[in-house]
Amino acid sequence: MPEQLAFALEVTANGLMAGVLYALVALGFVLIYKASGIFNYAQGVMALFAALTLAGIMDGQVPFSHLINAIFGTDVHYFGWNVPAFLAILLTMVVMIALAYAVQRLVFRHLVGQEPIILFMATIGLAYFLEGVGDLMWGSDIKSMDVGLPQGINGWIDNTTFELFGYGFFIDNLDIVASIIAALLVIGLVIYAQYTKQGRAMRAVADDHQAALSVGVSLNFIWILVWSLAGFVALVAGIMWGTKSGVQFSLSLIALKALPVLMLGGFTSIPGAIVGGLIIGVGEKLFEFLIGAPFLGGATENWFAYMLALIFLVFRPQGLFGEKIIERV
Amino acid sequence: MLYRESGDFSSTYPQDSQTFPIKFDRYRYYFVLFIAIAVIPFIINDYWVNSLFLPFLIYAIAAIGLNILVGYCGQVSLGTGGFMAVGAYACYKLMTSFPDISMLVHVLLSGLITAAVGVLFGLPSLRIKGFYLAVATLAAQFFLVWLFNRVPWFYNYSASGQISAPERTFFGINITGANTQAWATYLFCLMFVIFSAYIARNLTRGSVGRKWMAIRDMDIAAEIIGVNPLRAKLTAFAVSSFFVGISGALFFSIYLGAVEVGEVFGIQKSFLVLFMIIIGGLGSIFGSFAGAAFLVLLPVVLKIVGVDWLGWPTDIVAHLQLVIVGGLIIVFLIAEPHGLAQLWRVAKEKLRLWPFPH
């Protein structure tokens, strides 16, 4: 069945692209987890918040306009200007850094030394808080986002595959761009962590908090830095997913897509996040195509990644690339 | 003055090991029971039952269940919504397949079915720990919701994909369907709440509960002193899912009447119940009640204040509610990681000495 095979190949290619985006979100988790031991459930909502802020700034919306209107009875919505994409991205980054500072200062500084599970629950609270603030600030209607990324079917791939298989693959330009940007981002982050002063300090903190403190690394600074980096990754992920399917609440659910990726790859490993993302992206698309849609009634993508990760973990509890878990009494 | 232990002597072992050893506590407990059973049913109407009492009672059962797993046994679960869905659909299938059997049996059986499913999804907990387990329980959440959405047998091939509760009676009184009395549904749920709290309280202070707590505090050490982790973890999953299943069955049959699984038992429900036990207090039966009451009351109060008094649009109040709930979670975790239950304990300590603190 060469036709079926061609379909499967196309599905695989699309799965790879989706996997890159999952990996991108998972990366944000890994960054924070490695440096501070906090499992940041709010990563997805941070992506939503970043995307909302970016869209809001570009449209020149007045922040908290609905709330202001409700309290003072005024009727303001827009400043009446449009901010160019590049400037808006910079401004959004400033907002994300401010957010990182506030989160570190107001929340996690008070929770140092608590059990990891308490920290995890605090990030769930943070996720709710941010979601509410984002909606209050920019309104909850679905926004479209256009920062000038190419979209639509890629003609070259369509033509080439048509000549090869007699069937043109549908691959979105946006997915290709997203994969390239994600790859660049990962390379950039790895270089940053390996060769810069802050990067080395970051790795030192990840390795051992107390040893890092004793040689003069400021934990506070590193944590703010890491949260800012995670905010940056969230912004990139928010732009990609926002352009793809509009800025709306469902964007925050990509965190739930990234969790099995993390489990598969191991919470502490950057390569793990990437490989895990690719495995899950391809796996869930192929499963849906081969088994889910024909036999199980479809929409298996919702749970397949979790089941895969669950079965995998039973055999290797620390994930693919995670550090070996050693427990002592 | 009011609250004191002096003069409260126990002369037999049963007296010494009763649930509420202090006389004041005991009388307060009887008093609350008396109010709940003999006073409230006569003064409530449909509005109060549907907006406050039923959700409070049903969430309290779910919170007790989750508290056993998370607070007592230390296994974090994010699959509560999925297990509630199991209870609801089990109850629906039983109600429609065996119309002549009492609702009491149906609800208890749905609890047992959920317990079996809970044990199944609890099996990985023997290998996976901590965050990995929390994420693994999400597998249960998504898989179960998908299952009830996609397999028509579960919703009896109805065109809408919804399930709706047929009219059923308990001792000849309608408790499900359209023609119910406020007091009847209230009392039916209250019965299960008292039953669950009684069992949970006594399980957690007995040997089973002590094993759970040993596993929670350090599983390897517990294993070394002779606690079987397989049995302890799986019993925790079973008991927890049993209560969660009962609450799911009641939530569907008594409270809502008609359910669309993705909307009602989605991941938001899992988080809601988790928040209840965080705010109420991990590892405390009273905390489960306090947390459930708090999070049921909060939206109602916010709606009254925001929409009715201040005249704000409902969507703003809904967003504000998210902000407040999220903020409260953080504040509670920072200021009082043991929740409302701990505040209550502190208050009791103060009362014990009041009015002479030295």
| pLDDT one-digit tens code per residue, B34-51 | 988 888 888 888 888 888
Give yes or no for residue B204 having a pLDDT over 70.
Answer: yes
Beta bridge partners of B169: B174
Q: How far is B308 from chain A (nearest CA, A)?
A: 13
CB A319, CB A269: distance < 8 Å: yes
Give yes or no for residue B116 having a pLDDT over 90.
Answer: yes
CB atoms A140 and B274 under 8 Å: no
Please give the DSSP secondary-structure letter assigned to residue B39.
Answer: I
Q: What is the pLDDT of residue A178?
A: 80
CB B192, CB B61: distance < 8 Å: yes
Mutation site for A-interface testing, chosen from B77, B121, B138, B270 by largest number of A Cβ within 10 Å: B138
Q: For B155-180, what is each residue's pLDDT tens digit?
A: 878 777 788 888 787 787 777 777 77
Tell the residue number behind the tokens 């599983």, with chain if given: B219
CB atoms B274 and A124 under 8 Å: yes
Q: For B74-90, what is each residue's pLDDT tens digit?
A: 888 888 999 999 999 99
- Computed on alpha carbons and rounded to an integer, the radius of gyration of chain A in Å comes to 21
User: Which 316-335 residues of chain B touch chain A by CB within 8 A?
Assistant: 316, 319-330, 333-334
Beta bridge partners of A153: A172
Nearest Cβ partner for A124 among B143, B313, B329: B329
CB A23, CB A187: distance < 8 Å: no
B69/A contact by beta carbon, under 8 A: no
Share of chain B above pLDDT 70, in %: 99
- Computed on alpha carbons and rounded to an integer, the radius of gyration of chain B in Å comes to 21
CA atoms of B101 and B107, how far apart (whole Å):
11
Helix (H) or strand (E) holding B169: strand B169-170
User: Which 287-326 residues of chain A touch chain B by CB within 8 A?
Assistant: 296-300, 302-303, 306-307, 309-310, 313-314, 317, 319, 325
Residue of A nearest to B141 (CA): A303
CB atoms A132 and B323 under 8 Å: yes
Q: For B63-76, what is each residue's pLDDT tens digit?
A: 999 999 998 998 88
Beta bridge partners of A172: A153
- Dihedral angle sign, alpha carbons of residues B39, B41, B44, B48: positive
Exposed e or buried b for every residue in B325-339, given b needs 16+ CB within 10 A? Answer: bbbbbbebbbeebbb
The mean pLDDT value for B206-220 works out to 90
Residue of B nearest to A305 (CA): B139
Nearest Cβ partner for B143 among A114, A267, A303: A303
The mean pLDDT value for B207-212 works out to 92
Nearest Cβ partner for B333 among A122, A307, A325: A122
- List chain A residues with CB under 8 Å of B334: 107, 110-111, 122
The mean pLDDT value for B261-269 works out to 85
Q: For B127-149, what is each residue's pLDDT tens digit?
A: 887 777 887 888 888 889 888 88
**A–B: how many Cβ contacts below 8 A?**
144
Higher pLDDT, A242 or B269: B269
- Maximum CA extent, chain A: 67
Q: How far is B302 from chain A (nearest CA, A)?
A: 14
What is the token pair recorded at A255?
A: 């965190």
- List chain A residues with CB under 8 Å of B314: none
Mean pLDDT of chain B: 86
CA atoms of B156 and A208, how far apart (whole Å):
57
| CB contact set of A318 (below 8 Å; sequence gap of 6+) | A266, A324, A325
B174/A contact by beta carbon, under 8 A: no
CA atoms of B64 and B264, how far apart (whole Å):
19
CB atoms A140 and B319 under 8 Å: yes
CB atoms A317 and B132 under 8 Å: yes
Q: How far is A131 from chain B (nearest CA, A)?
A: 7
Query: Consecutive sets of 10 residues in chain A, 329 residues long: mean pLDDT of each?
Result: 72 80 81 78 87 83 73 71 79 89 86 78 88 82 71 69 68 78 82 84 79 86 87 86 77 78 79 84 82 71 81 77 70
Phi and psi, residue A247, nearest 5°:
-90, 110
Nearest Cβ partner for A70 among B271, B316, B325: B316
Beta bridge partners of B259: B163
User: Which 245-274 residues of chain B touch chain A by CB within 8 A?
Assistant: 267, 271, 274
Q: What is the pLDDT of residue B59?
A: 94
Q: What is the pLDDT of residue B288?
A: 92
User: Which 75-114 residues of chain B touch chain A by CB within 8 A?
Assistant: 76
CA atoms of A170 and A92, how far apart (whole Å):
33
CB atoms A313 and B333 under 8 Å: no
Q: How far is A4 from chain B (nearest CA, A)?
A: 25
CB atoms A128 and B322 under 8 Å: yes
Nearest Cβ partner for A259 among B127, B135, B312: B135
- List chain A residues with CB under 8 Å of B312: 70-71
CA atoms of B60 and B196, how far apart (whole Å):
9
What is the token pair recorded at B107?
A: 């609800």
